[in-house]
């Protein structure tokens, strides 16, 4: 079963996902972005010890995790179009 | 201590009032020339490098911080274009934070220009086990195929070799399918996206053994073209994937985390 089969017809609103999958969020908030010269920047992806424990942590993350915040802004909407 | 979340232009960010961030202090902005830094006062003792590392090694705490960070970044992004900063970017005070932004003002402004009116979408491709329609399965059931009924279940040397050969054939089929599918999805994404960037592929500990992730692609897309991207990459393709082993998942729109670094890094 492909996700494409469940896509709404053109013109319909894309349903807002239930929270953001944690694993996808971690891909973004930890490993990417800009490091500006803070006094401490814990560049987690570059610290082997932490990377290892993150790896172990990720094993329990799985796919979709319900967000404690309900609808997270920034997901399921295009903020700049409003 | 100040935790920094994102850089943007100095505009009103009303939605910051609705988010909690990482401490009980208000989330606010620091004006730095043509830029603004979204920050929050956090307790120094919980944000030393050691304390952070310890806390972020606990899954529940990691999740809480990641979601809180994202919530602030997303709240700012509802009002204007932002360059998200990585979680756990901490400065000793407002003066230091301002200096850090001022030092990189040029590249940060360039990043804002590049990201304006664009969103990030995630495209993930998984390969599942061969289904009943798969080629390997068809061969096994075919009376004239290379793997007649009974032979594979035998215990002799020939049956063993036959099983090895069948397994290798199925692995080769899978690898060739992966290559074709990844190429097709990347090509479809590139037709719509302004830029694409491969992210770390999730291991089986996340996806489960049955479904192997073979592509985790971040795509920078003009606002309003997200649905087109999703439709293209998730469209069933029976020619490349006759056995329907492939699943394509799209997430978004995201604040463009994965594309914030490129322009800024050039200035290093």
Out of A44-48, A76-80, B64-68, the most confident range is: B64-68
List pLDDT tens digits, range B233-243: 999 888 888 87
Asked if residue A14 has pLDDT above 70, the reply is: no
In a domain, residue A48? The reply is yes
| A21 belongs to a structural domain | yes
Q: Give contacts of A 51-80 with B, CB under 8 A.
A: 53-55, 57-63, 65, 67-69, 72-80
Is the residue at A11 inside a domain? no
Best of A1, A3, A4 to substitute, by most chain B Cβ atoms within 10 angstroms, is A4
For residue A40, the enclosing domain spans 17-81
Answer whether residue A74 is part of any domain: yes
Question: Structure pTM?
Answer: 0.75
Over residues B119-129, the mean pLDDT reads 93
A45 within some domain: yes
pLDDT-derived band at B131 (thresholds 50, 70, 90) equals: low
Lowest mean pLDDT among A40-49, B65-74, B201-210, B253-262: A40-49
Q: Identify whether the C-beta of residue B113 lies closer than 8 Å to the C-beta of residue B27.
A: no
CA distance B111 to chain A (A): 10
Best mutation site among B67, B213, B217 for testing chain A: the one with the most A CBs within 10 Å?
B67
Inspect the interface and report whether the beta carbons of B236 and A38 lie closer than 8 Å: no
Domain count across chain A: 1
Tokens encoding B125: 């491709």
- Check whether B148 has a pLDDT greater than 90: no
ipTM, interface predicted TM-score of the complex = 0.79
Instruction: Report yes or no on A6 lying in a domain.
Output: no
Distance from CA of B148 to the nearest CA of A (A): 30
Residue A8 lies in a domain: no
- Residue A12 maps to a domain: no
3-state secondary structure chain B: CEEEEEEECCCCCHHHHHCCCCCCCCEEEEEECCEEEEEEECCHHHHCHHHHHHHHCCHHHHHHHHHHHHHHHHHHHCCCCEEEEEEEEEECCHHHHHHHHHHCHHHHHHHHHHHCCEEEEEEEEEECCCCCCCHHHHHHHCCCCCCCCCHHHCCCHHHHHHHHHHHHHHHHHHHHHHHHHHHHHHHHHHHHCCEEEECCCCCHHHHCCCCEEEEEEEEEEECCCHHHHHHHHHCCCCCCCCCCCEEEEEEEEECCHHHCHHHHHHCC
Strand B82-91: give its sheet, edge to edge. A40-41, B82-91, B2-8, B35-41, B27-32
């Amino acid at each position: 079963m492909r996700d494409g089969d469940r896509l709404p017809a053109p013109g319909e609103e894309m349903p807002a996902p239930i929270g953001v999958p944690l694993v996808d969020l971690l891909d973004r908030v930890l490993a990417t972005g800009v490091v500006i010269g803070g006094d401490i920047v814990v560049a987690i992806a570059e610290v082997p010890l932490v990377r290892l424990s993150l790896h172990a942590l990720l094993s329990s993350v799985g796919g979709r995790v319900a967000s404690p915040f309900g609808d997270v802004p920034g997901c399921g909407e295009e903020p700049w179009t409003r | 201590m100040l935790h920094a979340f994102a850089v943007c232009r100095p505009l009103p960010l009303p939605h910051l009032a609705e988010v909690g961030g990482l401490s009980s202090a208000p989330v606010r902005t620091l004006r730095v020339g043509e830029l603004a830094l979204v920050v929050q006062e956090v307790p120094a003792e919980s944000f030393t490098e050691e304390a952070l590392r310890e806390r972020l090694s606990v899954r529940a705490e990691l999740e809480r911080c990641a979601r809180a960070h994202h919530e602030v970044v997303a709240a700012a992004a509802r009002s204007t274009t932002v360059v998200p900063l990585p979680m756990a970017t901490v400065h000793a005070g407002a003066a230091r934070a301002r200096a850090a932004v001022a030092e990189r003002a040029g590249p940060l402004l360039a990043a804002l220009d590049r990201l304006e009116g664009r969103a990030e979408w995630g495209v993930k491709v998984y390969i599942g086990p061969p289904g009943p329609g798969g080629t390997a399965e068809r061969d096994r059931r075919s009376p004239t195929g290379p793997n007649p009924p009974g032979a594979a279940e035998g215990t002799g040397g020939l049956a063993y070799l036959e099983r090895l050969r069948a397994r290798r054939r199925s692995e080769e089929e899978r690898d060739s399918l992966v290559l074709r599918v990844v190429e097709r999805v990347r090509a479809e994404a590139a037709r719509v996206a302004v830029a694409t960037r491969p992210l770390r592929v999730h291991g089986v500990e996340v996806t489960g053994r049955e479904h192997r992730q073979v592509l985790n692609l971040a795509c920078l897309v003009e606002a309003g073209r997200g649905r087109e991207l999703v439709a293209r990459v998730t469209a069933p393709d029976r020619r490349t994937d006759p056995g329907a082993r492939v699943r394509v998942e799209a997430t978004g729109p995201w604040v463009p985390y994965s594309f914030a670094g490129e322009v800024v890094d050039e200035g290093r």
